[in-house]
Structure 1
Amino acid sequence: MKSSKPNASPSIFNSLRIRLILSALLLIVLLLPSIGIALNNAFKQQVLSNTQDQLSAYLYSVLAVTEMEQGELFMPERLLENQFNVIGSGLYALISKQVLPQPQNNDISAPNISGLTSTQQHQNAQITPVTPTVQPSMVSTTQILWSSNSFLGQPLPTTLPYPNVGKGSFSEINLDGEPYLIYSFSVRFAPSSTTSNDELTAASNQLQAITVHIIKDFASISEQQQAFSQHLWSWLFILMLVVVAIQLAWLSWTLKPLARFKQELQAVQQGNSYQLTGQYPTELQAVAKQLNTLLSTEQHQRSRYRNALSDLAHSLKTPLAVIQSQKELSPTSIEQISHINRTISHQLKRAQSAAGNAWHLGIKVLEVSDKLLRTLSKIHPTIDIKYAKSPEPNCIFYGDQSDLTELLGNLLDNACKAAISQVRLSVVQQEATLRFIIEDDGKGISEQQRDAIFERGKRVDTYEQGHGIGLAIVRDLVDSYQGHLTISSSSHLGGACFEVSFNQAA
């Protein structure tokens, strides 16, 4: 028998709804975190830039009160910014110089810092590495000249940045294992203007540059960045949920016509409707209209086809009945006329099968099988006909009701004729496969007879009673629906077991 190859399990990505939802979620998952990362990095850079400007302003306020006379540094006891006066405030000021044992170049002219405005000096600032400027093959040491009151009790830094004179640097250092931000600016004070030119030149060559350092605790800045990051990601997460909800609602509204279209197709498949009656968007309305036209045309053609076949059967049977009524006919002629009648009935039933149109036909199996069991119980009162497994109430056969009645009716009738006392019917539906199993407690069918039944052109009405012309009708119906028919021995009743299966994947 012909058997339809089961379709592979459809992938979830074949669904337009799944594709649209996944694409929307992918866009949200990629876009919003990218925006969050960009905003977080931009905020951190802005905080560092603001901190650099703040430390630069503090540095110039310290530099404004710094005095150098005869190589000696003079600083006030208290500074204008109160944080420099509070011990452990997190804001510190240092003035140091780099001691070189053997300087190689002392003819660097000392710029007069008083001639530069604070804005010009700030423009000359640049971010440099923490490592101090050291001449090759020389070892330098750091000498702290002054520190603010807030620096009391703090560990002395082992290394400090020393930018070039008139330049600034902004970097990070560690004090006792804790991170700090530091802004350093190197200056060289000019001698008094009352000194002679020769003395001025000699003094300038002997003066060494000093560096002013403003150090700020990085903990407060880190807390600020962490607070911003926490708020940012919290709001982005809430925004993500809101956008996902909006996307799902929008997709549900957009795809609602497709869901309604699917429901109407299922109603047509199950035989509850014959037309698509819903109003759809422009893109689907044309499809619905064409489907309705196809359904209507097919129904009219099938009706005309069956009427024509009925007329043909009537026009053939009437002359055959007249011929068969002749008394002078030999028994051989009567037998041949009876065979012609059976052949006409068989071929008419085969031609009337609706298997090619089964996609929009659907009937409940329980209604047909219950009716057949009640009818056959009256025809064969000595046979106990029952369900071994009854069909579910929503079990659907996608085909014509007369075809299913003909198929099950012939199998059950043959089983009753071959049975001794029992016939059992089982209807099993597993996903897209519908199976009918008919068992009896008769003599069964031998292996040779099973093979002969499936041979093309073999007359099946020559087998034992109970498996006659009806099996040919069953075989043709199963073929037309691309089903699968197998014959075996019943493990429960001991007789024959006929199993018919159909792949009804939508």
Structure 2
Amino acid sequence: MSPPGLSLTLRITLVTVAMIAVFFLVTATLLERAFRENAEDAVMTRLEAQLLLLMGVVEVSGPHEVRLPELLPEARLSLPAGGLYARILDRDGEMLWRSPSALGVALGDWRERQMFQHEMTVRWELPEQSFPLTFQVLEDREAYIAQIDRYRRTLWGALALLTALLMAAQALALGLWGLRPLRRVRTDLEALRLGENRRLEGSYPREIGMLTDSINALLEFERERLQRQSNALADLAHSLKTPLSALRLAVESGDGEHRDMRIQIERMQEMIEHELNRAQRLGPSPFQAPLVLAPVIERTCTALQRVADHHGVVLDTVLQPECTLRIDTGALFELLGNVLDNALRHARSRVRVTLGCGPEGLELCIDDDGPGIPEAERERVLRRGARSDTRAGGQGLGLHIVATLVRDHGGELSIEHAPGLGGARIRMTFPGA
């Protein structure tokens, strides 16, 4: 038998978690990349504006003579190590001017320092001459990196919170709505098991409806198969019973030489009776409705009252009315009939039937005030063909049939001393529902 698979709830949850995780991972990566590109574009646009402002305030007197006012258009250019730097280069790359913020900062390795840099080379026109000048504006990446880190923390925090909310909503929807049809099927199956319904009825989703239709078809097939088996056994038993009866009459009409043959015929007839009764029950059905036992016991005792009167035995009952058991009425009649028949034949004056039940289970006891069954013989008399009284007729199938019936219905049968009456007690116990 293979181990049970993952539950549907766990399967759906795992798939949902995986899909949400992949979706948010891709979304976060794309959003972060887009934000990074937009931030870089914003920095470059800002540097271009700073460069144009710088070009607007510069005073150029010659190819190597440039002068800027003390109050620069961007305050950070005046702060030492302010993160924003500017310089002006001549046609040979010689630095003509640099911002106060660049004092002590090696701007030559800006690529190694991964600075943002924007430059523009213009040809400066003077009345007597023209010459090229290169304007450069540079900015450290610390502010940009800090901005990206803040955005990343905010983004991933928000996505984590959104994931948790989505998972909670998914679990709530799955529990309250998604799996409701399966819970309804489970409830209907339990009602079917308890015998309250004969098939699964209800409005189910299409996928589950296909399953319930298959279950109903299987149940109907099993009922028909069991009925065919029961009919076949009954037909076989009846077909054998008629010629055996004729053979028995023929033997009984002869002389005493056929005594052994008559015994064997009686044994075969009892076995056929046993198989015929067995064909009527075929064991308990898992969908058997609970049977209220007290009325059936009362009817059985009423039917046997004439036998009790014949033996001079008082047959009384002490029954708890609400006790139920999943058992067929015919099987219960057979069980009670066998045990009560034995009790009435061996009792001196009284037989008592007691029925009780509770959360722990059900107990049915049949006591008599006869000679009882010795403790050493109790296990043997429950075996097929064994009898406690060898003087009586029959082949000892009664208690064996009863024990089989009790086991078939999940119970246990034991032979004990009858308290109060002093004879035998046949005690049958069944587990609680």
Which of 364, 373, 395 lines up with 2:290 in the alignment?
A: 364
Q: Is the 8 A contact 1:271 1:360 kept in 2?
A: no
Deviation at 1:213, TM superposition (A): 3.8
Which of 17, 41, 63 lines up with 1:53 in the alignment?
A: 41
The number of residues matched between the two structures is 394
The answer to whether residue 318 in structure 2 is matched with residue 386 in structure 1 is: yes
What is the aligned partner in structure 2 of residue 410 from structure 1? Answer: 338
The answer to whether residue 10 in structure 2 is matched with residue 27 in structure 1 is: no
The residue type equivalent to 2:17 in the other structure is V
The residue type equivalent to 2:355 in the other structure is L
Change (3 A) 1:45 1:290: closer
Q: Distance in 2 between matches of 1:79 and 1:463?
A: 130
Q: Distance in 2 between matches of 1:437 and 1:365?
A: 14
Change (3 A) 1:317 1:292: same
What is the aligned partner in structure 2 of residue 350 from structure 1? Answer: 275
Q: Is the 8 A contact 1:350 1:476 kept in 2?
A: no
Q: Is the 8 A contact 1:425 1:436 kept in 2?
A: yes
Structure 1: give runs of 5+ residues left out of the alignment.
1-7, 98-108, 115-143, 149-155, 171-182, 195-208
Q: Distance in 2 between matches of 1:252 and 1:161?
A: 71
Deviation at 1:372, TM superposition (A): 1.5
Q: How does 1:73-472 map to 2 (within 5 A)?
A: 74=68, 76-79=70-73, 93-95=83-85, 111=93, 146-147=100-101, 164-165=109-110, 167=111, 169-170=113-114, 183=115, 185=117, 212-213=139-140, 216=143, 224-225=151-152, 227-229=154-156, 231-240=158-167, 249=177, 262=189, 266=193, 270=195, 273=198, 288-289=216-217, 292-293=220-221, 295-296=223-224, 298-300=226-228, 302-303=230-231, 305-307=233-235, 309-310=237-238, 312-317=240-245, 320=248, 340-341=265-266, 344-354=269-279, 356=282, 358-359=284-285, 362-367=288-293, 369-376=294-301, 379=305, 382-387=314-319, 392-393=323-324, 395-397=325-327, 400-415=328-343, 417=346, 422-426=352-356, 437-438=364-365, 440=367, 442=369, 444-455=372-383, 457-462=385-390, 470-472=398-400
The residue type equivalent to 2:314 in the other structure is T
The answer to whether residue 33 in structure 2 is matched with residue 39 in structure 1 is: no
Three-state SS of the structure 2 residue aligned to 1:385 is strand
Deviation at 1:487, TM superposition (A): 2.5
Three-state SS of the structure 1 residue aligned to 2:295 is helix
Q: For 1:425-455, what per-residue CA distance to the aligned partner results, in whole angstroms no more than 9, with x for missing partners?
A: 345787xxx8654263756533320232245
Three-state SS of the structure 1 residue aligned to 2:314 is coil
The residue type equivalent to 2:13 in the other structure is L
The residue type equivalent to 1:353 in the other structure is R
**Percent of aligned positions with the same letter in both sequences?**
18
Q: Distance in 2 between matches of 1:26 and 1:244?
A: 11
Q: For 1:303-322, what per-residue CA distance to the aligned partner results, in whole angstroms no more than 9, with x for missing partners?
A: 35425534643554466468
Q: Is the 8 A contact 1:168 1:185 kept in 2?
A: no
Q: For 1:110-142, what per-residue CA distance to the aligned partner results, in whole angstroms no more than 9, with x for missing partners?
A: 74799xxxxxxxxxxxxxxxxxxxxxxxxxxxx
Q: Distance in 1 between matches of 2:67 and 2:343?
A: 121
Q: Distance in 2 between matches of 1:161 and 1:406?
A: 109
Q: Is the 8 A contact 1:169 1:185 kept in 2?
A: no
Deviation at 1:19, TM superposition (A): 3.6
Q: Is the 8 A contact 1:484 1:501 kept in 2?
A: yes
Q: Distance in 2 between matches of 1:210 and 1:422?
A: 112
Q: Distance in 2 between matches of 1:463 and 1:93?
A: 119
Three-state SS of the structure 2 residue aligned to 1:352 is helix
Change (3 A) 1:289 1:454: closer
Q: For 1:122-169, what per-residue CA distance to the aligned partner results, in whole angstroms no more than 9, with x for missing partners?
A: xxxxxxxxxxxxxxxxxxxxxx96349xxxxxxx9xx9896725x374
Change (3 A) 1:293 1:63: closer
Q: Distance in 1 between matches of 2:410 and 2:145?
A: 78
Q: Is the 8 A contact 1:320 1:337 kept in 2?
A: yes
Q: For 1:280-334, what per-residue CA distance to the aligned partner results, in whole angstroms no more than 9, with x for missing partners?
A: 966775775565355335425533542553464355446646865x6x966x988
Q: Distance in 1 between matches of 2:69 and 2:326?
A: 99
The residue type equivalent to 1:146 in the other structure is P
Q: Is the 8 A contact 1:163 1:186 kept in 2?
A: no
Q: Distance in 2 between matches of 1:160 and 1:391?
A: 98
Q: Distance in 2 between matches of 1:298 and 1:473?
A: 20
Deviation at 1:27, TM superposition (A): 0.5
Deviation at 1:353, TM superposition (A): 0.9
In terms of fraction of residues, the more helix-rich structure is 2
Q: Distance in 2 between matches of 1:491 and 1:96?
A: 114
The residue type equivalent to 1:424 in the other structure is T
Deviation at 1:24, TM superposition (A): 1.5
TM-score by length of 1: 0.55
The residue type equivalent to 2:292 in the other structure is L
